[in-house]
Structure 1
Amino acid sequence: MSAITLKKMINTYGMLLILVLLFLSLSVTIDGFLSSRTIFSIIEQVSMFGIIAIGVTLAIITTGIDLSSGSVVALTAVVAASIVESVDTPTYAIMAFAMSILVGAVIGFINGGLTAYGSIPPFIATLGMMTMARGAAQLYSDGRPIDASAESFTWIADIDFFGLPGLVLVYLVIVIAAHILLSRSTFGRHIYAIGGNLNAAKICGINTKRTLIWVYIIAGALAGLAGALLAARTYAGNPSYGLAWELDAIAAAVIGGVSLAGGVGSIPMCVVGALIIGTTNKGLNMLGVDPYWQQIIKGAIIVVAVLLDTLKRRKKA
């Protein structure tokens, strides 16, 4: 094997190797870590912020960002809970999920519109929306949790499909659909083109504004779905949900190799990044590490991932 081939393999599968080594090292260090229960627990935890990480990945590939996703989770969780709070029927459960996705999509449409037509930097547009959505969640719920224990609503979080928790199965379906959309469709090629060179994409005839709006609509809709799923999993909608989830989502994307400079990234590697975050969280919790130290460690991981991406781009330049 040549040095060039080895280097290419490391660049492509390096994070997957890190995930395997991380899991093995924690398995040796922590009694009971190497078990199907722990694995499913990690994947189920990842399935929550992993869903919004997919939307964030699409935005980052276009050289954008979405800081509002965690707040959208909180808003849509209380919206979904309010719909099923007093009525336990399949119709209302479906309505709760549909309304959550719709609310998220509308917020994404606003984010995309501000970015594409208002020429507002995505960081600023989504930062403002993050604050507004969190405030709207507090206002809508009067700052209190809303009961969402209706069986017709929570069943998706309670049942298993062939040994897979319902939330994990939903996550896998979204991962597969997003991967096909990004890697096999014209829309996906347009996303990469915009991230690679916006002006060149315009010259090639790509409707960059419409594409950007759809990217943020998808990101918002996925955050809305995550909010409803979280409410179903916890039997409640709480305006405090989703705090710092946008950071975990961004971390998952960046650790998975999505370049903040745009034009580079994939859904499978975003999943690997999310699993690294989830495995780290689970390991630190089982080791009894102080939550404040956990924040410091996760912040350091993000900084290192961005630094590696920056060094890689410098070498290519």
Structure 2
Amino acid sequence: MSDNLHHLTEDNISAQSSPTVSERLKRINWGNYAPLIALAVLFAISAIASEHFLIPRNLTNILRQVSYTGIIALGMTFVIIAGGIDLSVGSTLALVGVLIIMLLNYLGIGWMSVSLAIVAAMVLGALFGAINGLLTTVGKITAFVATLATMSIYRSLTLYLSDAGEVVSSNPNYPKIGTGYFLELPIPVWVFLILAVIGHVLLKHTAFGRHVCAVGSNPKVATYSAINVQKIVFLTFVLLGFTVGVSAVMLSSRLNSISPGDAGLFYELDVIAAVVIGGTAMSGGKGSIWGTVVGAIILGIINNMLNLLGVSPYLQGTVKGAVILLAVLMQFKRSE
């Protein structure tokens, strides 16, 4: 009898200690999976709405188009988590693109020239990002105002250096980077995914990533915790500039040229939208690299579907703006 009571008691304890499936589902923070759920729903709707959507070539084109802004969005994620913002990324991309093609034409043909131009693009991007970082940290200028100014400066310099004309590369090897494929995927897509993995490790598994989140959450508390706030903010802008340089190589090599007036135009809108849709808080302190990747793909699918359905290009900006507002509104609702 006592043995039976003992077994019954153990069964009751085990039943109480192991939650049911419904309880486990309730414990899941579904807000963290909102971008992924939105992507799945959008993908299903797009597949139904257009018979051309699931064509492999169309899906590859979406990923290729997404990669240019997506690479920059990876860097922007760090800046926004740290409590900043950068409106100059499109102008920086155009300026870096013009400078590296000029350098490429000066160095001549050959893969060595291409390699030097790629390194130069990363260095120049990081340098222009560092200027934004210095204006924000040392100059004590609000990031919005500082990067609004450099957006105008960088675009103006781009037009001046190129005489407002298209700059074309004379190196026959350069286009092979932007138009090349590896394992059935365009090279820019691979670069985007590789940088996403590196960015995820940097954000979630390093002291730098933890410091970025701490600075964005509360700069004063971060300072009391012996974190060099200015250094962290500065480094996020440098990191963003680096990703802009990489994107400049991917875009200019695909076209084998750069248009100083059109290159990177409104990229800041797409980049910030991808970060916000991916769940990164505009107030700082919280964000996800993979969320940004999903956000960039969501934007790419929306753009693709608007084109497939014949929606006027003049209305596409309205749709993007509405998506950004909805994403920010959902953030506020979750934080209440």
Q: TM-score, normalised by structure 2?
A: 0.90
Deviations 1:242-273 (A, max 9, x none): 00001100000000000011111010000000
CA pair 289-6 structure 1, distance change in 2 beyond 3 A: farther
Which amino acid in the other structure matches residue 51 of structure 1? Answer: I
Q: CA deviation at 1:10?
A: 2.1
Report the Cα distance in structure 2 between the residues aligned to 1:220 and 1:58, rounded to whole angstroms: 11
* Residue in structure 2 matched with residue 262 of structure 1 by the alignment: 284
- What is the SS of the residue equivalent to 1:109? helix
Report the Cα distance in structure 1 between the residues aligned to 2:121 and 2:158, rounded to whole angstroms: 12
Which amino acid in the other structure matches residue 155 of structure 2? Answer: R
* Residue in structure 1 matched with residue 102 of structure 2 by the alignment: 82
Q: Indicate whether 1:243 and 2:278 are aligned.
A: no
* Residue in structure 1 matched with residue 334 of structure 2 by the alignment: 312
Q: Indicate whether 1:293 and 2:315 are aligned.
A: yes
Deviations 1:79-134 (A, max 9, x none): 12212236221121112112221111111111111111221111011111111111
Report the Cα distance in structure 1 between the residues aligned to 2:27 and 2:132, rounded to whole angstroms: 38
Which amino acid in the other structure matches residue 298 of structure 1? Answer: K
CA contact (8 A) 1:54 1:267 kept: yes
Gaps of 5+ in 1: none
Question: How do 1:102-121 and structure 2 match up within 5 A?
Answer: 102-121=123-142
Which amino acid in the other structure matches residue 97 of structure 2? Answer: A
Kindly name which structure, 1 or 2, has the bigger radius of gyration based on alpha carbons. Answer: 2
* Residue in structure 2 matched with residue 18 of structure 1 by the alignment: 38
Q: Indicate whether 1:68 and 2:88 are aligned.
A: yes
CA RMSD of aligned residues (A): 1.4
- What is the SS of the residue equivalent to 1:85? helix
4+ runs deviating over 3 angstroms:
1-9
CA pair 5-195 structure 1, distance change in 2 beyond 3 A: farther
Report the Cα distance in structure 2 between the residues aligned to 1:304 and 1:8, rounded to whole angstroms: 22
Report the Cα distance in structure 2 between the residues aligned to 1:173 and 1:66, rounded to whole angstroms: 23
Question: How do 1:80-159 and structure 2 match up within 5 A?
Answer: 80-85=100-105, 87-148=108-169, 150-159=171-180
Structure 1 residue corresponding to 2:198, chosen from 152, 159, 177:
177
Structure 1 residue corresponding to 2:217, chosen from 196, 208, 233:
196
Report the Cα distance in structure 1 between the residues aligned to 2:178 and 2:232, rounded to whole angstroms: 33
CA contact (8 A) 1:58 1:215 kept: yes
Mean CA deviation greater in 288-297 or 29-38 = 29-38
Identity of aligned residues (%): 37
* Residue in structure 2 matched with residue 55 of structure 1 by the alignment: 75
Q: CA deviation at 1:149?
A: 5.2
Structure 1 residue corresponding to 2:240, chosen from 216, 219, 232:
219
Deviations 1:154-197 (A, max 9, x none): 21122211112111111111111111111111100100000111
Q: TM-score, normalised by structure 1?
A: 0.96
Aligned length: 314
Gaps of 5+ in 2: 1-20
* Residue in structure 1 matched with residue 185 of structure 2 by the alignment: 164
Which amino acid in the other structure matches residue 55 of structure 2? Answer: S
* Residue in structure 2 matched with residue 281 of structure 1 by the alignment: 303
- What is the SS of the residue equivalent to 1:242? coil
